[in-house]
Structure 1
Amino acid sequence: MSTLEKKVEENYEGLTIRQFLKEDLELSGRLIRSASKEQRVLVNNIPVRMREILHTGDEVAVKLQRVESQNIVPEKMDINIIYEDSEILVVNKQPNIVVHPNSTYTTGTLANGVLYYFQESKQNCIVRLVSRLDMDTSGLIIIAKNQYAHMALSKQMEKNELQKWYLAIVHGHLEEKEGTIDEPIYRNDEGDIVRRVVDERGQRSITHYKVLESFDGGDLIECKLETGRTHQIRVHLNHLGHPIYGDTLYGYGEEEKGLIERQALHAYGLDFMSPKTKKILSLRSELPEDMKNLLERI
């Protein structure tokens, strides 16, 4: 897409371009300001000010690409691309990889690899993460290629219109093969800034689950998030008495050494409306090898 284009209809006759961009194209104030400042808003192929009055039949265009830079070092790495178009990139993150650089991990992150890919493929994009995953959780992550795509997908997340599906391998067998966990999650009071607990003081948190297959040592379950709290699936399943295999924070820790080297949690599915086509994208990825191996062992 790279450029938003729309003909002005009769009901917008006499409105300003700013009103049109906000009401018809549903652009954020931040996007409108930056596009205006950089003269990326055109009416009939001519850059305009935001107070320009529109008339029926005018052709409005907003150029989405802009010159940007990012304080991330590009690094060559293998990236498993599940889907790509002019607006977004969806990758299948491997386990044990940090998503974005921080004070501890300045290199070797997914963002380092994605930025290298953008530069090598001659795409003038920075890394705009729409979704994130814990270091040890594998699965699908969306990267927006421009400000508009990021805005559109962030709105879907806010409205709970971007659906996230996970696969987890848990200890034991759930009594109810399908259900909903509706329990508030709260930051732990005991000095551990990472760990979360189920506590009535917390935010409402909802996880829908379904047992897909049972094994001698546990269940393979599918989880769909209705809310997106930190460690939500891990906290909820542990609360039920069925912690995820390999979860050293909420599970059995050292007792599982040799079975799997991280929590057996994989973000395998995404359903959302494409910023480009306005049609629903339904993306899926396979269970990673370490989780397949775990199923064979249990």
Structure 2
Amino acid sequence: MNVKKRPKAHSPASSPKNDATELVVGEPTELLAFLLASLPGRGRNSVKSILARGQAAVDGRPITKYDHPLQPGQRVTVSWTKVDRSGGDKLVGLTILHEDDDIVVVHKEAGLLSIATAQEKELTAYRQLSDYVKRVSPSARIFIVHRLDRDTSGVMMFAKSERVQQLLQNDWKDAVLERTYAALVEGAVRTKEGTVKSWLKENKAMVVYSSPKPDDGQLAITHYKVLQSNDRYSLLEVRLETGRKNQIRVHMKDIGHPVVGDKKYGARGSSLGRLGLHAHVLSFRHPTGGKTMRFESPIPSAFLRMFKEK
């Protein structure tokens, strides 16, 4: 296939910071085949995603059909700026930060379930992403890698195949280079830096607690550092060495400073209107490429407002 590029067109391998790549069709073909030949650095699923998101335009008109016919001389523009979805395609409480053939990294807002239980059938991050990938390929699937509590916001990662899910989960401790949370807790934390270590267990009421006996339960290690503090609240940077269920919430209760809004684990009030926990940074080695990737979601402004002078 003879593909002629405009002299000033961005290279398909160029930085995502470039707005678009413009290509000229050299011979009769179809849109998907043309893009696969013209964007050699991208896999088939990645190119299908570009089409599904409306990022490919033929002579200025967005086209999503794989088999759209192309004729010599037509211009195909691939936009590297994500197209805002509307209507039924719009993701609710969820923003895609990164997507490739193996993983999807998202920002989840507080209030959205990661995945439903047998009793809960409402809209979830998992269900929305499953629908999202099926619009590109009906056989596509999404696999959960780790979870955030309903009222915890921030960075989450999903796998696009069971193989990649297993690669990540089996090597989670070594693959994850940084997993940092912002925690708004009650009271002034006097120790500026500290580590909480305990063995966690769960009772029949599904409440997790630290066992008084060493080696009784799952080992959990949490490191924290005070970022801001006043008489009523402290904002902590919390780094997880282990990733147990409700680990931060239990450990904050253990040091006498429960997470704001967390009545399950001892919080007295709910002045924030949500849980004061946010998955701030997730850094990891890509499960297939090995490249180090880092994603950061800003600390919610509602957390920071608690420290403004009144």
TM-score by length of 1: 0.67
How far apart, in 1, do the equivalents of 2:148 and 2:258 lie? 18
How far apart, in 2, do the equivalents of 1:264 and 1:173 lie? 15
Q: Where does residue 193 of structure 1 map in the other structure?
A: 206
Q: Deviations over 1:43-80 (max 9, x none)?
A: xxxxxxxxxxxxxxxxxxxx999xxxxxxxx9853321
**What is the CA-CA distance between 1:295 and the residue it aligns to?**
4.4
Runs of 4+ with deviation above 6 angstroms: none
* Partner-residue secondary structure (3-state), 2:299: coil
Q: Where does residue 130 of structure 1 map in the other structure?
A: 145
How far apart, in 2, do the equivalents of 1:245 and 1:295 lie? 14
* Partner-residue secondary structure (3-state), 2:130: helix
How far apart, in 2, do the equivalents of 1:96 and 1:133 lie? 10
Match of 1:262 among 261, 274, 281: 274
Contact preservation (8 Å) 1:165, 1:267: yes
Distance 1:297 1:204, change over 3 A: farther
Contact preservation (8 Å) 2:175, 2:284: no
| Most deviating of 269-278 and 88-97 | 269-278
Within a 5 Å distance, the mapping from 1:108-119 to structure 2 comes to 108-119=123-134
Within a 5 Å distance, the mapping from 1:280-291 to structure 2 comes to 280-291=292-303
How far apart, in 2, do the equivalents of 1:281 and 1:164 lie? 12
**What is the CA-CA distance between 1:235 and the residue it aligns to?**
0.7
**What is the CA-CA distance between 1:126 and the residue it aligns to?**
1.1
Distance 1:215 1:122, change over 3 A: farther
Q: Where does residue 59 of structure 2 map in the other structure?
A: none
Identity of aligned pairs, percent?
32
How far apart, in 2, do the equivalents of 1:115 and 1:160 lie? 24
Contact preservation (8 Å) 1:75, 1:113: no
**What is the CA-CA distance between 1:296 and the residue it aligns to?**
4.2
Q: Where does residue 230 of structure 2 map in the other structure?
A: 215
**What is the CA-CA distance between 1:185 and the residue it aligns to?**
1.8
The residue type equivalent to 1:192 in the other structure is A
Distance 1:297 1:245, change over 3 A: farther
How far apart, in 2, do the equivalents of 1:224 and 1:125 lie? 34
Q: Deviations over 1:124-171 (max 9, x none)?
A: 521201110111111111111123321221122154745321110111
Q: Deviations over 1:185-228 (max 9, x none)?
A: 2224xx52334234323322100111112234221111111111
* Partner-residue secondary structure (3-state), 2:98: strand
Match of 1:147 among 162, 166, 186: 162
Residue 237 in structure 1 maps to residue 249 in structure 2:
no
Structure 1 unmatched runs, 5+: 1-62, 66-73
Q: Deviations over 1:239-290 (max 9, x none)?
A: 111111111111234xx24x12222001111111012431111111112344
Residue 166 in structure 1 maps to residue 181 in structure 2:
yes
The residue type equivalent to 1:286 in the other structure is P
Structure 2 unmatched runs, 5+: 1-43, 47-87
How far apart, in 2, do the equivalents of 1:230 and 1:175 lie? 26
Contact preservation (8 Å) 1:64, 1:147: no
Contact preservation (8 Å) 2:223, 2:241: yes
How far apart, in 2, do the equivalents of 1:113 and 1:105 lie? 15
How far apart, in 2, do the equivalents of 1:125 and 1:135 lie? 25
Within a 5 Å distance, the mapping from 1:34-53 to structure 2 comes to none
Q: What root-mean-square deviation, in Å, do the aligned CA atoms of Structure 1 and Structure 2 show?
A: 2.7
Residue 275 in structure 1 maps to residue 290 in structure 2:
no
Contact preservation (8 Å) 2:201, 2:208: no
The residue type equivalent to 1:109 in the other structure is T
**What is the CA-CA distance between 1:101 and the residue it aligns to?**
2.1
Q: Where does residue 38 of structure 1 map in the other structure?
A: none
Residue 87 in structure 1 maps to residue 102 in structure 2:
yes
TM-score by length of 2: 0.65
Query: Number of aligned pairs?
Result: 223
How far apart, in 2, do the equivalents of 1:195 and 1:227 lie? 15
